[in-house]
Chain A
Amino acid sequence: QQPVQSPQAVILREGEDAVINCSSSKALYSVHWYRQKHGEAPVFLMILLKGGEQKGHDKISASFNEKKQQSSLYLTASQLSYSGTYFCGTESTSGTYKYIFGTGTRLKVLA
């Protein structure tokens, strides 16, 4: 039932790009992206809503395909600070209170 993220883990060099995918089995109203650094709480990055509206980070972009119930997070020209575990948070069209997270993607950026 948790949205599935891919890849599970990725290692990059500084300056390289990465794409993280989130796929749900349920119809989604919105997708939210978070980054969690080791030993810390997840921190919000951006929201994507049905209809194409986006809110959030100015250096990270994302897409939301409502029909396929999928979202992708695009990290371009990665920096060391991008290292962490990325989660998609999802809300289905059926209600606002079940806010569930994807399986997570561990990203490590090397100098």
Chain B
Amino acid sequence: DTAVSQTPKYLVTQMGNDKSIKCEQNLGHDTMYWYKQDSKKFLKIMFSYNNKELIINETVPNRFSPKSPDKAHLNLHINSLELGDSAVYFCASRGGTRDTEAFFGQGTRLTVV
């Protein structure tokens, strides 16, 4: 039973399209994140949610809109995709205390052509 499941694993789309990535965790965690990993392997935080509330938005273009219908789900919708959006996007979740590790989804490799 996968702890953090993320779909789809691969996404190839044309510039200008809109796409969504879904994430679900069954760990009962309060906090969920979206990270972007670029070609240089840097893992950059995009958003952080705690109990469905947006806590952190790291100056991400507003074409990116996260949505958390409940604390087990955090989806990412991207409008008007650009070439520079090509990357691997990871969803992660953590428990409510500071001594807990992050559990990652499998990642979504987004390629914009």
Residues on A lying within 8 angstroms of B by beta carbon are 2, 29-30, 32, 34, 36, 40-44, 47, 49, 53, 55, 85, 87, 89, 91, 96-101, 103-104, 106
In the complex the two chains form, is A32's CB within 8 Å of B41's CB? no
How close is B2's CB to chain A, nearest CB, in angstroms?
A: 11
| CB-contact partner of A98 in B45, B101, B103, under 8 A | B45
A/B interface sample: 29 pairs, CB < 8 A: A30-B98, A30-B99, A32-B102, A34-B101, A34-B102, A40-B107, A41-B104, A41-B107, A42-B43, A42-B90, A43-B104, A44-B102, A44-B103, A47-B99, A49-B98, A55-B99, A85-B41, A96-B31, A96-B96, A97-B31, A97-B48, A99-B33, A99-B45, A99-B48, A99-B94, A101-B42, A101-B43, A104-B41, A104-B42
Chain B CB within 10 Å — which of A29, A96, A103 has the most? A96
**Bound form: Cα–Cα A103–B43 in Å:** 7
Number of interface residues of B (CB under 8 A): 27
Please give, as numbers and ranges, the residues of chain B lying within 8 Å of A96 by CB-CB distance: 31, 96-98
Please give, as numbers and ranges, the residues of chain B lying within 8 Å of A106 by CB-CB distance: 41
**Bound form: Cα–Cα A47–B102 in Å:** 11
Residues on B lying within 8 angstroms of A by beta carbon are 31, 33, 35, 41-45, 48, 50, 55-56, 90, 92, 94, 96-107
In the complex the two chains form, is A44's CB within 8 Å of B101's CB? yes
